[in-house]
Amino acid sequence: MLDKLVDIALEAGAAIMRIYASETVAARSKDDGSPVTEADATAEAIILARLHELNPETPIIAEEEASAGRAPIAAARFFLVDPLDGTKEFLSRNGDFTVNIALIENNRPVCGVVYAPAHGVIYAGAEGDGARKAIVAEGAALDWRPIEARNPPQAGLAVVASRSHMSEETHAFVGRFSVANLVPAGSSLKFCRVASGEADLYPRLGRTMEWDTAAGDAVLRAAGGQVCTMDGQLLRYGKRLQASDVDYANPWFVAAGRFNPFQA
């Protein structure tokens, strides 16, 4: 399954890069005010078609379909897709955007792929099989190597935080720790930097949706890290009929390497 998801992400990423290479990229605003481009729609169409071919009986929750009111009800097993996470980064051309595909089983992200096509790097992870990273050249993933989340260094934590959503609450949470450096970044690459041991902590004290986090969460868990809500519980997927928010919305969370940030 994981290798199949890698192939699908690479195909979607190639389509995104063809649009990224054009001189102008038009964007429109969705109902929630977030931008969407031709690249989002094109990549999602590719991913949906390939996932249906791969596993036609498994429901797919995808960002643009959900935004259009076409999200199926999640079952015990379903796919979560964000075809272009970091549309603002795509539009600003800083490269920090990703293709995200995850498989959810019993509320857990058990398999996931995060592909950053502008950076030529792809991450993959599956429950029980660990996590890995590869460079991408000419549409192929090359030189796979295993990655692992690290134990917190004594010299202070490396913290990665959202470039577009750095809140006062996030600054306050980070202030609880001894921090060596704080690096802003876009999209689900923040999870992957924790998963690969380049960072120790990624707090997101702001609103996200499940498709924003599932693939990066799967990679991080496979690498030995964790993603917890503010009460210290693992982040769950397939959340519906929530009193406090819409279907598939996440609460605030903290992604960490090999330590519990609520016991630090």
Share of the chain residues as helix, strand and coil, in percent rounded to the nearest 5: 30, 35, 40
Taking the CA atoms of residue 229, residue 219, residue 65 and residue 39 in that order, the dihedral angle to the nearest 10 degrees is 120
Q: Are residues 93 and 183 in the same domain?
A: no
Q: Which of 124, 147, 170 is the last residue of a domain?
A: 147
Is residue 82 a known part of a binding site? yes
The tally of domains found in the chain comes to 2
Report residue 209 as tokens: 């949706």
| 132 located within any domain | yes
One-letter amino acid at 27 equals: A
225-258 pLDDT, tens per residue? 999 999 999 999 999 989 889 999 999 999 999 9
pLDDT at 30 over 70: no
Give the CA angle between residues 80, 64, 207 to the nearest 5°: 70
Residue length of the chain: 264
From residue 190, how far is each of 141, 151, 182, 216 by CA, in Å?
A: 20, 17, 12, 8
Q: Are residues 137 and 166 in the same domain?
A: no
Is residue 206 a known part of a binding site? no
Contact in structure between 137 and 250 (CB atoms under 8 Å): no
**Host domain of residue 39:** 2-147
Q: Which of 89, 115, 147 is the last residue of a domain?
A: 147
The pLDDT score that the predictor gives to residue 170 is: 87
Pairing of strands 77-85, 60-62: parallel
Q: Are residues 165 and 128 in the same domain?
A: no
Is residue 40 a known part of a binding site? no
Cβ neighbour number for residue 177 with a 10 Å cutoff = 16
The pLDDT score that the predictor gives to residue 167 is: 78
Q: Are residues 85 and 163 in the same domain?
A: no
pLDDT at 264 over 80: no
| 162 located within any domain | yes
The predicted model scores a pTM of: 0.94
Q: Which of 95, 112, 147 is the last residue of a domain?
A: 147
What would the DSSP string read from start to end of 59-76? -EEEHHHHHTT-PPPP-S
Q: Are residues 106 and 203 in the same domain?
A: no
79-105 pLDDT, tens per residue? 999 999 988 888 888 889 999 999 999
Q: Are residues 139 and 13 in the same domain?
A: yes
Residues above pLDDT 70, as percent of the chain: 93
Is residue 63 a known part of a binding site? yes
Lowest mean pLDDT among 41-45, 114-118, 198-202, 259-263: 259-263
- Between 36 and 159, whose confidence is greater? 159
Q: Are residues 11 and 140 in the same domain?
A: yes
Cβ neighbour number for residue 168 with a 10 Å cutoff = 8
Q: Are residues 61 and 130 in the same domain?
A: yes
For residue 26, the cross-strand partners are none
| 152 located within any domain | no
| 120 located within any domain | yes
Q: Residue 219's domain is classified under what CATH number? A: 3.40.190.80
The pLDDT score that the predictor gives to residue 254 is: 96
The pLDDT score that the predictor gives to residue 165 is: 66
| 85 located within any domain | yes
Residues in contact with 69: Cβ distance below 8 Å, sequence separation at least 6, in sequence order: none
| Rounded Cα gap, residues 180 and 173, in angstroms | 15
Q: Are residues 130 and 178 in the same domain?
A: no
9: left (phi over 0), alpha (psi -120 to 50) or beta: alpha
Residues above pLDDT 90, as percent of the chain: 72
Segment 119-148 mean pLDDT: 97
Is residue 212 a known part of a binding site? yes
Is residue 51 a known part of a binding site? no
The pLDDT score that the predictor gives to residue 258 is: 94
